[in-house]
């Protein structure tokens, strides 16, 4: 297989595309955008704030900041990007923020999806709270009060559904997916319980025990919610994550009856996909991005 084929995310599911081969590539050049765009994890400054992977003025995409009107609560902002050419069947993905909000990394992820042919939108879940910008922030504890206020307000579901409803206004026959990171990964799981709003989901290192204390030993009943999920779910987690037990991850996914797949990366901890912070792990991020693109393309196309 040529280097160009190996760097193509759609090849991630091919049998000859082994994890060892992918990691060896990732050690020198992380796959940071689809279509063969790469950047050296060592020389291009990944793991800290860096120039965007897909720029806002990229000619292949159109960036906008729609104002969303949820069915509950006041209007909120969002960050969206679409391919330059959109058809009625262009698939869409709602991107749920991590604890840092709609920061530079989340905005870049939205643009990366658009570059790969998806309509993408990230609802600004902190928008009513006057939260500070997460761009370049390194102390996540400053954002915990805003996460708690967001949950207390109780508008998360309606805010997410407002972003969901924006996509068919751009492509009326779009199949819709949802993805999220950290706090956003937890929200993804909550949004697909008892809901058929999304056809496919991809959660990154989110809580797999909603409604129970992850610090306490798990009980079988903690995972009863899995029978209420019908959305195809992909999971990406780190074995070194001290906040989410790999055993809980395995148990949760083993209880799912909906289509599912999960990977726990031995070399990674929490936040491994965030290429703007020191939690970034190139090999895990590259592979998880490839798997997620293939997941959404296979199910939403």
> 227-281 pLDDT, tens per residue?
999 999 999 999 999 999 999 999 999 999 999 999 999 999 999 999 999 999 9
Q: State the DSSP string of 88-138.
A: TT--EEEEE-BTTBS-HHHHHHHHHHHHTT-EEEEE-TTGGGTPPP-TT--
**What is the b/e burial string over 47-76, where b = at least 16 CB atoms within 10 angstroms of the residue's CB?**
bebbeebbeeebeebbbeebebebeebeeb
DSSP helix/strand/coil, 61: strand
Residue 232 lies in a domain: yes
Between 14 and 154, the higher pLDDT residue? 154
Residue 41 lies in a domain: no
Residue 123 lies in a domain: yes
Mean pLDDT is lowest, of 12-16, 99-103, 149-153, 292-296, for 12-16
CB 249 within 8 A of CB 235: yes
CB 269 within 8 A of CB 145: no
3-state secondary structure 138-176: CCHHHHHHHHHHHHHHCCHHHHHHHHHHHCCCCCCCCCE
Residue 282 lies in a domain: yes
* Residue 44 pLDDT level (bands cut at 50, 70, 90): low
For residue 28, is pLDDT > 50?
no
pLDDT of residue 283: 97
Instruction: List the beta bridge partners of residue 264.
Output: 237
DSSP helix/strand/coil, 191: helix
CB 78 within 8 A of CB 121: yes
Residues 6+ away with beta carbon under 8 Å from 42: none
How much is the average pLDDT of 20-36?
A: 35
Helix axes 156-166, 144-153, angle to 10 degrees: 90
Give the CATH number for residue 272: 3.40.50.1820
Residue 13 lies in a domain: no
Residue 21 lies in a domain: no
pLDDT of residue 215: 83
pLDDT tens per residue, range 154-187: 999 999 999 999 999 999 999 999 999 999 999 9
Residue 12 lies in a domain: no
The rounded distance, in Å, linking the Cα atoms of 111 and 83 is 9
Q: The sheet that has 200-204: what strands, in order across it?
A: 61-64, 78-83, 119-123, 92-96, 176-181, 200-204, 232-238, 260-265
Residue 238 lies in a domain: yes
* Residue 301 pLDDT level (bands cut at 50, 70, 90): confident
CB 38 within 8 A of CB 29: yes
Mean pLDDT is lowest, of 33-37, 133-137, 150-154, for 33-37
114: containing domain: 47-300
pLDDT tens per residue, range 69-117: 999 999 999 999 999 999 999 999 999 999 999 999 999 999 999 999 9
The residue with tokens 């006041």 is 74
Number of domains in the chain: 1
């Amino acid at each position: 297989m040529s280097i160009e084929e190996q760097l193509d995310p759609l090849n991630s599911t091919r049998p000859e595309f082994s994890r060892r081969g992918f990691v060896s590539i990732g050690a020198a050049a992380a796959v940071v955008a689809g279509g063969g765009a790469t950047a050296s994890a060592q020389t291009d400054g990944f793991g800290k704030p860096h120039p965007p992977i897909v720029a806002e003025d990229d000619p292949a995409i159109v960036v906008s900041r729609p104002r969303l009107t949820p069915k509950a609560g006041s209007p909120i902002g969002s960050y969206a990007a679409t391919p330059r050419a959109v058809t009625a069947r262009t698939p869409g993905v709602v991107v749920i923020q991590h604890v840092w909000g709609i920061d530079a990394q989340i905005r870049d992820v939205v643009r990366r999806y658009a570059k790969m042919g998806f309509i993408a939108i990230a609802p600004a879940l902190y928008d009513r709270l006057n939260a500070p910008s997460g761009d370049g922030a390194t102390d996540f504890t400053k954002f915990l009060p805003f996460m708690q206020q967001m949950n207390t307000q109780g508008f998360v579901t309606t805010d997410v559904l407002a972003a969901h409803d924006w996509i068919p206004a751009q492509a009326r026959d779009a199949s819709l997916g949802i993805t999220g990171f950290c706090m956003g990964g937890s929200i993804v799981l909550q949004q697909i319980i008892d809901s058929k709003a999304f056809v496919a989901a991809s959660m990154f290192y989110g809580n797999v025990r909603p409604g129970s204390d992850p610090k306490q030993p798990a009980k079988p009943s903690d995972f009863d919610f899995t029978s209420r999920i019908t959305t195809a779910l992909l999971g990406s987690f780190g074995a070194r994550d001290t906040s989410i037990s790999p055993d809980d991850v395995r148990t949760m996914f083993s209880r799912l009856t909906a289509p599912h797949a999960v990977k726990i990366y031995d070399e990674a901890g929490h936040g491994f996909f965030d290429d703007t912070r020191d939690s970034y792990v190139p090999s895990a991020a590259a592979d998880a991005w490839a798997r997620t693109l293939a997941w959404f393309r296979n199910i939403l196309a």
